[in-house]
Amino acid sequence: MNDTTLADGLEIRPATEADLPAIVAMLADDPLGATRESPEDLAPYRTALKRITEDPHQRLVVAVRAGRVVGTLQLTLVPGLSRKGATRSIVEGVRIHADERGSGLGTVFMEWAIATSRAEGCQLVQLTSDVTRTDAHRFYERLGFVASHVGFKLAL
């Protein structure tokens, strides 16, 4: 995966271990993430990052502006049989730093995810968003996503 340098000095590149404090801080700085993350203990995130980077179907990236991590996003490539053997991509863990909200970074980031999915031969990009995140829903719909499904989760 190559780095992508965009307008305004914004760069999208694979996440590394050095990015973990900034990534986990963004995961925790969120109404839902606040109770689910442990920014004071990065050990489980280091283990998880290793699993992610060893999986060739994962693209965990950060957006960097002026040397500072301002966003993160994870793309999973999922080969499948349905839809005539279509491969789909799944977007998870989209977070934009509070200072960057409204800057257009979310759009640039999702456009990167869509372009990468297309370049990888995917026929479909999908994601789920908590029912309470209504602003995010409008954002995805503006990008052309259709709210055609119900997303179910079961905690183990």
126 near 90, Cβ under 8 Å?
yes
- Listed ranges 4-12, 63-71, 98-106, 136-144: which one lies at the site for a copy of itself (CB under 8 A): 136-144
SS3 7: helix
Q: Which residue has the tokens 């053997």?
A: 85
Q: Closer CB to a copy of itself, residue 66 or residue 154?
A: 154
Distance, CA of 33 to CA of 72 (rounded, Å):
14
Please select the residue that binds a copy of itself; options are 16, 79, 99, 107, rule is CB under 8 A: 79
Q: Closer CB to a copy of itself, residue 5 or residue 132?
A: 132
Q: Closer CB to a copy of itself, residue 98 or residue 143?
A: 143
Distance, CA of 143 to CA of 110 (rounded, Å):
8
DSSP state of 140: H
Distance, CA of 41 to CA of 104 (rounded, Å):
31
- How many residues bind a copy of itself (CB under 8 A)? The answer is 65
Q: Does 98 bind a copy of itself (CB under 8 A)?
A: no
Distance, CA of 88 to CA of 85 (rounded, Å):
10
Task: Please state the closest distance from residue 93 (CB atom) to a copy of itself, in A.
Answer: 5
Q: Does 14 bind a copy of itself (CB under 8 A)?
A: no
Please select the residue that binds a copy of itself; options are 68, 101, 118, 142, rule is CB under 8 A: 118
